[in-house]
Amino acid sequence: MRRAPARSRAPARGARTPARPGADPPLSARARRGDPPLITDAEPSPEERLRRRKRTYVVIMVIHIVGFGVGGALYEVAREIGLVLLLVTIPLPWIAVVLANDDGPLSPRKLRRRRAARGRTELDPERDMGSPPDRS
């Protein structure tokens, strides 16, 4: 007895089909939209940026406290070295605050919004209200 030839069935959804020699692999919807962003290109999360800013602040303040203490102790022994160390560590708290409050570069969307707000200092009645007010 001869068997009937097997009917070719369509592959199940999501199943891989053997590629024809020289054929491009099937593209997913994500691949058709363009290259996916690399994980290294992604912006850090707000929590990660906050952690980094806190760590920067703490490191600079520890340097300030240690340098200030060592500078004060050296001032009694070697005045010039102690004075230089004290003068170098005095502005560190201000630098730490500025760096801790810096949130990094603005996103293009926020930058456009800020530039638009800067260029529009007065209200434009026709644009903002629809029609000019009656001043008679």
Q: What is the secondary structure of 93-118 as a DSSP string?
A: HHHHHHHHH---SPPHHHHHHHHHHH
Write out pLDDT tens, residues 115-133.
777 776 555 555 555 555 5
| Per-residue confidence (pLDDT) for residue 115, from 0 to 100 | 78
Q: Is the pTM of this model over 0.75?
A: no
Q: Within 10 A of 89 (CB to CB), how many other CB atoms are there?
A: 20
Q: What is the secondary structure of 59-79 as a DSSP string?
A: HHHHHHHHHHHHHHHHHHH-H
Residue 67 has pLDDT above 80, yes or no: yes
Query: 84: number of CA atoms within 13 Å, CB side?
Result: 3
List the single range of 73-77, 110-114, 130-134 with lowest mean pLDDT. 130-134
Residue count (the chain): 136
Write out pLDDT tens, residues 11-63.
555 555 555 555 555 555 555 566 666 666 677 788 888 999 999 999 999 99
